[in-house]
Structure 1
Amino acid sequence: MKEKVLTQRNTNQTLLDTYPLFIRNWFSGAIQWWVAAVLIGQWMFGLYILFRFTMPWLLGDLDESQFTTMIRGYKNGDVFNNGVLLLHIIPVMLISLSATFQLIPFVRNRLPNFHRWNGRLFLVVGFFGAISGLYMTWGIGSRLSDLGAIGVSLNGILIPIFVYYAWRTAIQKNFKLHRRLAVHTFILINGVWSVRLYLMAWFMANPGGLGNTRTIDGPADIAISFASYLLPMAVAELAFWAERRRTPKSILIGAIFLTLMAILTTFGVFAASTMMWLPRITAAL
């Protein structure tokens, strides 16, 4: 009887010893899952831009008929605004295919030169993408409603601010703060990508479009326009908080929210790929 009690105590002690390790593995695994989902989604988006816009541009076959899915697309003869549009769209292909590598520790640690130059490219493209996006939204009317454009406009305003501080902390070699700011900058620059994920996920889960309007100013539309960057930024900040605290409870909380974020991103990538990107890639081939 005494030996049975001792065995039970030893078993319980072993479970207590491995519990924090399990949580840490869950935490890191959830981050890897989220990053992997983002990588796949970014590549799908990059390939969509390549076949839908970049290849016709390189071949000289651009025509306004190819931009019918955009609020305000390419207009034959409008040289300046077409240039702004292409400056906004084409470079996104480059950062969609390469920017996610910035989040991978192996790349940061083993390929520092690639990490630095890839990061600079990402920040520069993101900065000009934000400026051109704001110009198109409010300068040439690339919006369906003023209310529906507020969320994406705030996203565009925040991008240059975070780009500045991410670049500055890198120059100052304050890598701990730089990592945190760079992650938030990555999320902000990819805000319009996240809008597509969340909107398509919402349409797939809610085929009736409850809360959506044709002018993208319904309750669901507005919520998605803000959640596209505020939600992943909040989860990322929670993960950084958990890393700083390093307690089983904080790591557990971080792991739970990271897992939920990874599930949402995976579902969004699937929905956007099947409902938007793959059909348009196929049509362009």
Structure 2
Amino acid sequence: MIPTAPAPTYPDADIAVAASRSPADTLSRKAGTALKLSASAWFVVAALGQLLFVAYVLGYYGRAALQGRWQAWNGVFPRGYVAGDTAGNLVVAAHLGFACLIVVAGLLQLTPAVRRRWPAFHRWTGRAYLAMVAVMSLGGLSMILTRGSVGDLSQKLAIGLNALLMLAFAYQAYRHARARRIDLHRRWALRLFLAVSGVWFFRIGLMFWIVANQGPAGFDPASFRGPFLTFLAFAQYLLPLAVLELYLRAQDRGGAGARIAATALLSMLTLVTAAGVGAATMLMWLPRL
């Protein structure tokens, strides 16, 4: 029997392996996994909430249009329908239709399984999504200028800023996709999704606030003006964008502590989002269907 020489040892490699399995590194990896799971949980809740919003828009505005009851739009959307203003009415109708398509397309764009299994579909849907965002943003600005909107000047400025951010984010997402900078494209696409979702965030945020305070607080429901509505008009997209930046920083360069803190924040916001969706569904959407 030929004797077998002992396997050589490499101290540096052993040290590297041991270091990679240190408690701190293990905790950081687990915290990273928890962070991803919390983000996925929020997305699932948001997706369900946005699909409920689409069902409401189609069920209320779409059904009224099919039945020829165009004036019913004004019950929720002040000056949504103006007799004799065909061009303006078409802009509003297109805005509502694009809102539904954009929600569905945006959710498909951010679904990992769709990107992996049908990359061509992802690319073409993405192009259509960016085009619809541009049309809806410009249409929203047009409606503010020609038909106005409820609320005071601060709310109109907030809507205008939201539309401009949507256009800027759409351009950045397209530019990086064309250059095959996929990670940067993904980040700008996430920012775009949150900016586009501003209208939805406003509704669930408002309903959460009303339920939490057991009635309107910080604003006059008759004039739809007040400090809280001014805050919410900007927070509807700036706050989600700020949370996204915290998430990306914790994911990229954060240690275990930063990732755990970001996970806790996302978990809390998931519960708040779910509560807001529930309140909006029961108090705003279902009663009008």
TM-score by length of 2: 0.86
Structure 2 counterpart of 1:49: 57
Letter in 2 for 1:175: I
Mapped pair 1:249 → 2:273? no
Letter in 2 for 1:194: F
Structure 1 counterpart of 2:119: 112
Structure 2 counterpart of 1:136: 143
User: 1:147: Cα distance to partner?
Assistant: 2.5
Alignment partner of 2:288 out of 273, 280, 284: 280
Residue range with higher mean Cα deviation, 250-259 or 171-180: 250-259
Instruction: Map Cα deviations across residues 171-209 of structure 1 (whole Å, 9 max, x no partner).
Output: 111111111111001111111111011011111111231
Alignment partner of 1:266 out of 256, 274, 278: 274
Q: Tell me if structure 2 keeps the 8 A contact 1:216–1:222.
A: no
Letter in 2 for 1:154: L
Instruction: Map Cα deviations across residues 82-138 of structure 1 (whole Å, 9 max, x no partner).
Output: 011011111211222332122222222222122112222222212111111111112
Alignment partner of 2:170 out of 159, 163, 175: 163
Partner-residue secondary structure (3-state), 2:192: helix
Letter in 1 for 2:279: A
Mapped pair 1:40 → 2:84? no
Letter in 2 for 1:33: A
Percent of aligned positions with the same letter in both sequences? 33
Letter in 2 for 1:232: P
Alignment partner of 2:190 out of 159, 183, 195: 183
Letter in 2 for 1:260: M
Length, aligned pairs only: 268
Q: Which has the larger radius of gyration?
A: 2
Alignment partner of 1:232 out of 229, 234, 240: 240
Q: Tell me if structure 1 keeps the 8 A contact 2:32–2:251.
A: no
Distance change >3 Å, CA 207–CA 72, structure 1 → 2 = farther
User: 1:26: Cα distance to partner?
Assistant: 1.9
Runs of 5+ unmatched residues, structure 2 = 1-20
Letter in 2 for 1:134: L
Instruction: Give the distance between the partners of 1:247 and 1:279, measured in 2 at CA.
Output: 47
Structure 2 counterpart of 1:4: none
Q: Tell me if structure 2 keeps the 8 A contact 1:49–1:89.
A: yes
Instruction: Map Cα deviations across residues 235-284 of structure 1 (whole Å, 9 max, x no partner).
Output: 11111111211521232222122222222221111111111111212xxx
Q: Tell me if structure 2 keeps the 8 A contact 1:53–1:90.
A: no
Instruction: Map Cα deviations across residues 12-44 of structure 1 (whole Å, 9 max, x no partner).
Output: x99767533442232111111110011101100
Letter in 2 for 1:265: T
Structure 2 counterpart of 1:200: 207
**Poorly superposed stretches of 4+, deviation over 4 Å:** 13-18
Partner-residue secondary structure (3-state), 2:68: coil
Letter in 1 for 2:152: S
Instruction: Give the distance between the partners of 2:229 and 2:250, measured in 1 at CA.
Output: 31
Instruction: Give the distance between the partners of 2:259 and 2:187, measured in 1 at CA.
Output: 17
Runs of 5+ unmatched residues, structure 1 = 1-12
